[in-house]
Structure formats: C-alpha cells, structure tokens
Amino acid sequence: MAVEVENEIKGTSKSKLYEELYIKAELSIDGVNIGKDALKALDVGGTIQEQVHSGFEMDKETHVGIDLPASFKLPNGLVSPFKWNRGSEYTIALEGDKYVLIKRGNKLFEINFQKRPLYYSLKTSDGQPMHNIATFVNDSSLSAFYSNECAYKEKGEDCLFCNVNATKDTYAEKEGIFWKTPLQIAETVQAAYKEGIADHVTVTGGIIPERREIDYYLDVAEEIKNKTGLQDFNGTAVIAAPLDLSNIDRLKEAGYRTIGLNIELWDKNFYQTICPGKARNSGGWDHWLKAIEYAVGVFGHGKVRSNIVGGIEPKQKTLEGVEYFSSIGVVCLPSAWCANPGSALEGHRTPEAAWHLDLAEKVVHLQKKGGITYQNIHDASNNDTGLAHDIWKVEDGLLGK
C-alpha cells in the first residue's frame, strides 16, 4: 500500500496510526473474541454502550440474550466496531482492571470501550427506550433505523449481502424491534442534540413503497424541527430511488440537508445478481443513477451520498463508480463488506485487510480530487468509523494529535 510506503519511518504519529489502522481493518473483517471474564466485568448497557439490532446483525454469529459492546477505541483514537467472532485471531482480555487486545497470544495494547450516552437511559413520551429509536455512532452521528421491513423479502429479492429481515426475525421478540414513529425519532434526536454528543442524524430503513416512504420522511422532518427548533437539523434521508424524481425536491424542502441513494454496486452484471430487488424495481440500475444525478442538482455538491459495498465486485469496478461519483460531487465511501449471519452470502469471504485499505486509500484520493470535504462525508454518512473515514482523518491531522 502507498500509505505504508509513505509512512514507513517508525515512531511518527502518522506511522503509528497506520499501524493501528491495519489492525482495525483486520478487526472489522474478521471480528474479535472476548474472554468470559472480560465480558462479565464490562458493564454493558450500564456505563458501556451496547449493541442495538435496529438494523443489521454485524457480528459473525447471532447472540440473543447476550449483551455485547458496540465499539472500542484503540490507543491513538481510532474506533473499531465490536464484531463478535469466537474464531478470530484477536481476543480482548482483562488484565487487572484494564482491557487489552491480544493477537495469537501476543499482547498488542490497551483498549477502551465506548461510554453509554445519557439519552440511552431515557424514554420517549410513549414509554419507548430511546436507545431502540436512534443509535449513537462515533463522531457525533445518530442513526435512526425506523424499520427492518423490506418489501423485497416477499418476492424473494433481498440483496444477497443484506440481513435486515433476518435480524428482525432473530431479535424482534427479545429486543423489541418495531416501526418507529416520527415523534419517537424527533424526541430522541432532541435528547441527543441537547446532550451535546450529536449534530447529525441519518434516517434510514428497509425498502418500502415509494409514497409511504416519502410521506414518512416528511413527517419525521416536521417533528424533528418542531422538537429541536432547528430548521436545518442536519439530517440525511436514505431512500430508494423514487420513480417520481420530484419527491427528491420534497425532501430538500422538508429540511433534510443531505440525501442517500445507495446504488450498492457499480458493475451492472454483479448488480443484477446481487441486488435482484433493486435491479427489477425502482427503475433498476440506470434509473438509480439518474436519481442520484438529479439529487445533486437539488441538494448540491457534496450533499448526496451513494454507498457501494466494497469487496463483492472487482476493485477496479468499484473505483470506476467512485471516480464518476466524485466528478459530480457525490459522497461515495465503499464499506468493507462482511458476510453477515442471515444473509444469502453468509459463509462467504471478503477480501483481506490490505485489499480494503488499498481501496479506501484510493477512494479518499478520488473524493478529495472531486472537491469533497470531510465535513461533507460527516454530514452525509451514518458511520464515521469506516476505513476511508479514518484515512481521511489521519491525512487531515484529525487524529493522533
């Protein structure tokens, strides 16, 4: 990797960060085990932020009834999601009152777990726990996953990498997964903003009929503005490509600052196979791209996001998509695909860590070349802990100070 060549001199802050970033990449792909005594000592759901399955199961196996931490911080500020995998080469162990990361029996360094936000202990006016309404994501973002419902399931057309329906089937009874009302989301956003830990909210969910989806998002925006008093509440509306493109204008008029239309894959042939529902509905790949281009004209440069799942199609194809999106001002930071439980691709393997880091490095270069800023990606993303985000922060001096 070029970043390794550029930072091969040991001892510098940037060099250390890239060493840790490689470890984080492996943790993100292969997960981490945790000793029984270490997990027992953690106050998960008390002082430590817990996982909430409002959207996807990101661990290597399901764990109904076992509370796991959401994330942990490496020594120089990088945040790694906690992805449980009992077969991982990495293990978190307890040494005295400290938690340490171990690889193949070798101690690497001490880690710290994400503290639980105060609003996680609050309830909405109708008695629902706020941590089930919108989850806190590192770097002051909230993710309100309003529904695990996906209309493609009924037709057997789920995206093959997606486990949103399986996650609901697994955790709905134990964790109370349900359709969130606009008022519940607004009250939770208000509480998190008041606490001072968040300044951006992503509203997202499974694919539902267009009219129902747009009306719901309009109601959410209205409630958030009423509760927070903010006309610009820094919200991202993640939707399916609407057949009626004027619905994109309606979301902008409602007060959303950014919009997300996730194309998922750039290669049309892969898209047909991996995303059958999207390929056969919402106008297919060509209309999805048309909707993204239209959205740029409505929301502006750097205010439209389209995700690509990194690791399913050839790297060069993904980079072709990123290059085009960058040229028109679309935020595109491919996520590192992991074959999650319940998805059709469960049991498959994603590329190795170096592959994903190389992709992330090239993506950051293309996005910067297109005039995208870190503020753009923060405002348009619902996860500031991806590998491309980290490279961006390292290169801009936002970490390791």
Half-sphere exposure at residue 97, Cβ-oriented, CA atoms within 13 angstroms: 1
The encoded tokens of residue 220 equal 């959410």
Residue 256: name the closest of 301, 224, 287 by CA.
224
Q: CA end-to-end span of the chain, whole Å?
A: 23
Residue 383: name the closest of 134, 56, 51, 142 by CA.
142
Strands 258-260 and 330-331: unpaired
pTM of this prediction?
A: 0.94
Cβ distance 50 to 70 under 8 Å? yes
How many residues are given for the chain? 401
- pLDDT tens digit sequence for 95-122: 999 999 999 999 999 999 999 999 999 9
Residue 238: name the closest of 49, 70, 50, 55 by CA.
55
CA–CA distance, 140 with 133 (Å, rounded to integer): 16
* Positions of the chain with pLDDT lower than 70, given as ranges: 1-12, 400-401
- pLDDT tens digit sequence for 323-381: 999 999 999 999 999 999 999 999 999 999 999 999 999 999 999 999 999 999 999 99
CA–CA distance, 121 with 130 (Å, rounded to integer): 7
Which residue do the tokens 């909210």 mark? Answer: 201
Cβ distance 201 to 224 under 8 Å? yes
Which residue do the tokens 């009626």 mark? Answer: 244
Cβ distance 98 to 40 under 8 Å? no
148-310-82 Cα angle (round to 5): 60
CA–CA distance, 357 with 337 (Å, rounded to integer): 12
- pLDDT tens digit sequence for 142-172: 999 998 878 888 888 999 999 999 999 999 8
**CATH homologous superfamily for the domain 119-395:** Aldolase class I (3.20.20.70)
Percent of the chain past pLDDT 70, that is, above it, reads 97
Q: Domain locations in the chain?
A: 32-113, 119-395
The encoded tokens of residue 375 equal 């503020």
CA distances from 91 to 69, 74, 85, 101, 198 (A): 14, 14, 9, 6, 31
